[in-house]
Structure 1
């Protein structure tokens, strides 16, 4: 109940968001452990993780909600305190106002980590951002998952793919390069370090009493209004005079600046631009994982989007005709409207074909090329090839299939092993010296195979 009530703060902000306001959700991601493409066992021990911070901004452009993701990667070990976190959030706001100049007010939302919920953080943000800072809301405990965690999973997947391609990611600079190569500017990534101002005056801040129990902060010129729970009561008023001010003790030293490419303010816009840029090339239908996104962009609805081969133009084409179905063992093509067609060589369709998420017959024919395997019989447009073990070379099935002569790789384990017997029959029985096998139930393999 408390979590749902507290989430109402975010929902109300989004409902009343205008073009001059932004909602920034922030989170310190789990440290990224450096990895090499090839690393010995000794390289695994004693690793020090790379600190990084994610901020996802929601703002309104016309009637649409758009997002910008800022990623700060630290080139050295840091202490995640209020001063460092305030420097990062102020840097996000400064870059945000350059990308979207009409934003005049910012609202923050985060979990209850100590680097966010502390008096120094609140004072430092107010001193740096001034009238731009309007509210800071915290999620209920154990309910802090949000867009930052989703972005973090995407980024880590991109870095893993970059490493699997033969690269090392052992530093903040290499991590930024991995993200930039794979995301191509979708995220605003910056490598920074922390510089401590040793000449800063000693902080005169008076801690806000019971701040760990507070979840909602509203800022104005004269002070802060705080609530323990969103929308409950009038809140407690705290004057700035009762809190004090502080000089920012840490600043960010930029090691590698934001990606030079033009800013991509909305991930969907990036995909639209890619589609427009590739219009002059042969279209490739999207994978199933990308089908929903392409459908929503091209047709405003996933179930209307269709991508099929056009027999007249001899290339793939997409439109918004809506989904259709064909019979088992066939697929649909454009000619110029829907028409039945045979599956391409090497593919088969054992179930009814639907254009929702598919442009080809869904399965590839098994090749029976693993160790010891040969083709027993070729399949059809409805069925897969069947395989058998090459008994002439001493191979037999690891697991006896349903039919003792052959195996269907679509639903059986067709692995073969080399039997210790020097000679096997077509039924995979061991033939001893001088013994003659008669009445074999399995067909013999022709000599040319």
Structure 2
């Protein structure tokens, strides 16, 4: 990667059940879980550091990498394709604000239906263009692989959330999720936001990508996107852009 590129991984976390600090066992049944979307970014540090050796000389150390993670908490979300794109836009927009020197992006998610539907590849490119970012590649990880950075961030954030709850707090909505995950200083290099879905808002045009469920890699060019069933194997199939329309259905 170049200095102006970043690699990001997105994943929905396991739903969080609302829970009072002290509640009857009967209150457990029939609960609806709350959603969290995690986005983690990795990029090269812009400056090399001097490394001291055993001798009196010094040399430039190898490049190191920086990471930043973002979590969007939503009280009620069906985790549809539109929900996923809207929450992803919130995360990408905040990352661009925090690190404006990043101009290009490589993205990876799993192959779940809300990440790999027909309109998602082109809609994600459209979102990045609106934010001044060029989306270069779009990869789908193998089953249960490649999302470990999101799982780690979500896991330690939930542990902090449980500690907050154990101090006598009730966990009832997305605002409580944010407060709990930021408890005792929060998690290093992690930001949490609360979003809500606005009814009767949001739009995503329909399109069709042949054999979309078998795609594992996408490469974007100005005129089309090339899709591959395996990363960097074969010539790929060029699919022209359909100029779809996307409008978010979320607000912070």
TM-score (normalizing by structure 2): 0.86
Q: Which has the larger radius of gyration?
A: 1
- In structure 1, the partner of 2:166 is 164
The 1:60/1:179 distance shift into structure 2, 3 A limit, reads same
Q: Are residues 1:133 and 2:117 paired?
A: no
Cα contact 1:83–1:120 (8 A) shared by 2: no
Distance of 2:178 and 2:147 partners within structure 1: 24
Distance of 1:197 and 1:134 partners within structure 2: 32
Consecutive unaligned residues of structure 1, counting only runs of 5 or more, are 1-16, 255-449
SS in 2 for 1:31: coil
The 1:146/1:199 distance shift into structure 2, 3 A limit, reads closer
Q: Are residues 1:51 and 2:51 paired?
A: no
Distance of 1:129 and 1:153 partners within structure 2: 28
SS in 2 for 1:59: strand
Runs of 4+ in 1 over 2 A off after TM superposition: 141-145, 182-186, 195-200
Matches within 5 A, 1:41-440: 41-61=25-45, 62=47, 63-75=63-75, 77-130=76-129, 132-184=134-186, 186=188, 187-196=190-199, 203=205, 205-240=206-241, 244-254=242-252
Higher relative contact order (CA 8 A, sep 6+): 2
- In structure 1, the partner of 2:5 is 21
Q: CA deviation at 1:66?
A: 0.7
The 1:199/1:66 distance shift into structure 2, 3 A limit, reads closer
Deviations 1:42-72 (A, max 9, x none): 2211211111111111011132201111000
Q: CA deviation at 1:182?
A: 3.1
Cα contact 1:87–1:250 (8 A) shared by 2: yes
Distance of 2:202 and 2:111 partners within structure 1: 31
Q: CA deviation at 1:144?
A: 4.4
What is the root-mean-square deviation in Å for CA atoms of aligned residues?
Answer: 1.8
Deviations 1:165-190 (A, max 9, x none): 22111111111101112343632100
Q: CA deviation at 1:145?
A: 4.0
The 1:236/1:91 distance shift into structure 2, 3 A limit, reads same
Distance of 1:117 and 1:52 partners within structure 2: 18
